[in-house]
Amino acid sequence: MRTLLTKFALLFTLPICTLANFSFPASADSTADLILNLQCQGGYDINIWKTHSSGELLYRSTGEKGDLSLGKGTSRATEGVRVYQFRNNNYQYWVWDGTLDNAKAGTLDVYHNNHMLMQRSCVQR
């Protein structure tokens, strides 16, 4: 009797779960706007996003050492270009939107304990 009840429960719930899973439409994440898209030396791809609701700056990168996502960034204009800054424990990531020589260029700077670990030249995509 117990086996029969278990089989009945499985046969009854499986179609309902399947129907519920496919009944919701798929949609793209439209909670943020892409404001900067850079391709940097060494295979690093950098995206800076700004959320619609709070205006929070988000950092997304992919590269040879893996992927990284950070939030709570800051932005300021300095020396004629904009710099986006993000922090992850003792690491700081500075993304320069343009250079004095080329508005379509950029730079990725990575600091650890306020010492530069890496600097990569980038181009906007």
pLDDT tens for 42-100 read 999 999 999 999 999 999 999 888 999 999 999 999 888 999 999 999 999 999 998 88
Reported pTM: 0.73
* 32-124 to CATH, choices 1.10.10, 2.40.128, 3.30.499, 3.60.90: 2.40.128
Asked if 68 and 60 touch (Cβ cutoff 8 Å), the reply is: yes
pLDDT computed for residue 100 by the predictor: 83
* Per-domain boundaries in the chain: 32-124
- Label residue 81 left, alpha or beta by phi (over 0 means left) and psi (-120 to 50 means alpha): beta
